[in-house]
Amino acid sequence: MIEYLLLAPVLTGMVCFFSKTRKQVETASLAGSIATLLLGLLLVWQVYKYDIIITWQNALFADAFSAFIVLIVSIVGFVASLYSIGYMGHELDHGAMDLKRLRLYYVLFHGFMFTMLLVGVTNNLGLWIAIEMTTLVSALLMILYSKKSSVEAAWKYMIICTVGITFALFGTILTYYAAVNILGETGDALNWTSLIAVADRFDPTIMKLAFIFILIGYGTKAGLAPMHTWLPDAHSEAPTPVSALLSGVLLNCAMYGIIRFYTIATKSTGIDFTSNLLIIFGLLSLGIAVPFILLQEDYKRMLAYSSVEHMGIIALGIGFGGVFGVFGAILHMFNHAMTKSLMFFGAGNILQKHETKEIFNVSGLVKSMPVTGAMFVIGTLAITGSPPFSIFISEFTILAAGFSQGHYIATVLFLLFIIMIFAGFFNNVSKMAFGTPKQGIEKGDVGRLMLLAMGILMVFVFVLGVYIPPPFYEMIMKVVEIVR
Partner 1 sequence: MEEIVFGSGIMQLLIALILVSTFMILGSTRLYSCVRAFGMQSFLLACVAGIVAFSTGKTDIYIVAFLTLAIKAALIPYIFIYIIREIKVKREIDLYVNISPSLIIGGILVVISYYLIRSINLITELSSFALSASMSLVSIGLFIMISRKKAIMQMLGILIMENGLFLGAISLTYGMPLLVELGIFFDVLIGVLIMGILIFRINRTFETIDTDMLKTLIG
Binding mask 186-215 for partner 1 (x = CB under 8 A): xxxxx------------x-xx--x------
- Subset of residues 2 to 61 that bind partner 1, contact rule: CB under 8 A: 59
Question: How many CB atoms neighbour CB 346 within 10 A?
Answer: 30
What is the rounded CA–CA span in Å between residue 77 and residue 73? Answer: 6
User: Do you know the residue count of the chain?
Assistant: 484
In this chain, which of 10, 34, 140, 280 binds partner 1, going by CB under 8 A?
140
* Secondary structure, 3-state, the chain: CHHHHHHHHHHHHHHHHHCCCHHHHHHHHHHHHHHHHHHHHHHHHHHHHHCCEEECCCCEEECHHHHHHHHHHHHHHHHHHHHHHHHHHHHHHCCCCCHHHHHHHHHHHHHHHHHHHHHHHECECCHHHHHHHHHHHHHHHHCCCCCHHHHHHHHHHHHHHHHHHHHHHHHHHHHHHHHHHHHCCCHHHHEHHHHHHHHHHCCHHHHHHHHHHHHHHHHHHHCCCCCCCCHHHHHHHCCHHHHHHHHHHHHHHHHHHHHHHHHHHHHHHCHHHHHHHHHHHHHHHHHHHHHHHHCCCEHHHHHHHHHHHHHHHHHHHHHHCHHHHHHHHHHHHHHHHHHHHHHHHHHHHHHHHHCCCEHHHCCCHHHHCHHHHHHHHHHHHHHCCCCCCHHHHHHHHHHHHHHHCCCHHHHHHHHHHHHHHHHHHHHHHHHHHCCCCCCCCCCCCCCHHHHHHHHHHHHHHHHHHHCCCHHHHHHHHHHHHHHC
The dihedral through the CA atoms of 251, 253, 254, 260 has a sign that is positive
Using the rule CB under 8 A, is 301 a contact of partner 1? yes
In this chain, which of 31, 42, 99, 159 binds partner 1, going by CB under 8 A?
159
Residue closer to partner 1 (CB basis): 138 or 411: 138
Binding mask 97-136 for partner 1 (x = CB under 8 A): ---------------------------x-x-xx--xx--x
What is the rounded CA–CA span in Å between residue 213 and residue 202? Answer: 16
Residue closer to partner 1 (CB basis): 172 or 352: 172
In this chain, which of 69, 158, 362, 450 binds partner 1, going by CB under 8 A?
158
Shortest gap between Cβ of 75 and partner 1 (angstroms)? 27
Residue closer to partner 1 (CB basis): 153 or 446: 153
Using the rule CB under 8 A, is 264 a contact of partner 1? no
Shortest gap between Cβ of 161 and partner 1 (angstroms)? 10
Q: Which of 266, 287, 293 is nearest to 277 (CA)?
A: 266
Residue closer to partner 1 (CB basis): 186 or 436: 186
Amino acid at 3: E
Shortest gap between Cβ of 242 and partner 1 (angstroms)? 16
- Subset of residues 223 to 262 that bind partner 1, contact rule: CB under 8 A: 232-233, 237
Question: Dihedrals φ, ψ of 122, to 5°?
Answer: -80, 130
In this chain, which of 156, 235, 260, 478 binds partner 1, going by CB under 8 A?
156
Residue closer to partner 1 (CB basis): 79 or 165: 165
Residue closer to partner 1 (CB basis): 146 or 439: 146
In this chain, which of 3, 93, 98, 185 binds partner 1, going by CB under 8 A?
185
Kindly determine how many residues on this chain lie close enough to bind partner 1 according to the rule CB under 8 A.
52
In this chain, which of 102, 174, 238, 366 binds partner 1, going by CB under 8 A?
174
Q: Which stretch binds partner 1 (CB under 8 A): 103-111, 162-170, 361-369, 411-419?
A: 162-170
Binding mask 390-429 for partner 1 (x = CB under 8 A): ----------------------------------------
Using the rule CB under 8 A, is 361 a contact of partner 1? no
Q: Which of 134, 136, 133, 128 is nearest to 165 (CA)?
A: 128
Residue closer to partner 1 (CB basis): 268 or 335: 268
The dihedral through the CA atoms of 76, 82, 87, 92 has a sign that is positive
Using the rule CB under 8 A, is 299 a contact of partner 1? no
Using the rule CB under 8 A, is 184 a contact of partner 1? no
Q: Which stretch binds partner 1 (CB under 8 A): 150-158, 317-325, 331-339, 366-374?
A: 150-158
Q: Which stretch binds partner 1 (CB under 8 A): 30-38, 180-188, 332-340, 352-360?
A: 180-188
Q: Which of 338, 337, 318 is nearest to 328 (CA)?
A: 318
Residue closer to partner 1 (CB basis): 233 or 309: 233
Residue closer to partner 1 (CB basis): 185 or 200: 185
Q: Which stretch binds partner 1 (CB under 8 A): 71-79, 92-100, 183-191, 431-439?
A: 183-191
Shortest gap between Cβ of 185 and partner 1 (angstroms)? 7
Q: Which stretch binds partner 1 (CB under 8 A): 66-74, 174-182, 354-362, 470-478?
A: 174-182
**Is there a contact between 249 and 72 (Cβ–Cβ < 8 Å)?**
yes
Residues within the interface to partner 1 (CB under 8 A): 59, 124, 126, 128-129, 132-133, 136, 139-140, 143, 146-149, 151-156, 158-159, 162-163, 166, 169-170, 172-174, 176-177, 180, 185-190, 203, 205-206, 209, 232-233, 237, 292, 295-297, 301
